[in-house]
């Protein structure tokens, strides 16, 4: 089963990692330096973010750099926007129905 992106960004450390690498690509060590936690724990968070395709890895020399997949983040917003439109449409239909109901009552 594919990982839920909401789940991925529900964790405060993962949100902080996203904010951090949004500025620039970073190595796991450099990321870990910003947190009061173990390397293993940061690696685990990075793995989850990678599985959700929210971050991508790039090999540069001997180091692996992690960077944010801006497109994927945009996709999340695009989905939300479509979800909003469903509700807009649904409620516009309800407006029409209520108008009809009011006229019938008279």
Partner 1 sequence: MNDLLFDFTVDKPSKTVYITREFDAELPLVWDAFTKQELLDQWWAPKPWSSKTKVMNFEPGGRRFYAMVSPEGLERWSVQKYTSISPKTNFKFLNAFADENENPELPGSNWDLNFSEESGTTKVIVTIYNESLERMEKMIEMGFKEGFSMTLNSLEELLASLSRK
In angstroms, the Cα distances linking 63 to 12, 37, 73, 83 are: 26, 21, 25, 40
Tell me if 106 contacts partner 1 by CB under 8 A: no
Tell me if 91 contacts partner 1 by CB under 8 A: yes
SS3 for 21?
Answer: helix
Please identify, using beta-carbon distances, which residue of 24 and 97 lies nearer to partner 1.
97
Tell me if 104 contacts partner 1 by CB under 8 A: yes
Least distance CB 68 / partner 1 (angstroms) = 15
Tell me if 99 contacts partner 1 by CB under 8 A: yes
Q: Applying CB under 8 A, which of residues 2, 40, 62, 106 lies at the interface with partner 1? A: 2
Please state, in angstroms and rounded to a whole number, the distance separating the CA atoms of residues 92 and 88: 6
In angstroms, the Cα distances linking 100 to 1, 18, 77, 90, 103 are: 45, 49, 35, 16, 5
Which residues of this chain interact with partner 1, rule CB under 8 A? Answer: 2, 4-7, 9-10, 12, 15, 76, 79-80, 82-105
């Amino acid at each position: 089963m594919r990982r839920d992106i909401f789940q991925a960004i529900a964790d405060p450390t993962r949100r902080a990692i996203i904010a951090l690498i949004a500025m620039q690509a970073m190595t796991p060590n450099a990321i870990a330096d910003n947190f009061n936690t173990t390397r293993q724990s940061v690696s685990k968070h990075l793995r989850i973010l990678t599985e959700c395709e929210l971050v991508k890895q790039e090999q540069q020399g001997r180091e692996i750099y992690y960077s944010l997949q801006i497109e994927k983040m945009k996709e999340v917003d695009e989905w939300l926007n479509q979800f909003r439109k469903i509700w807009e449409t649904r409620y516009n239909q309800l407006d029409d129905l209520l108008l009809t109901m009011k006229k019938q009552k008279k």
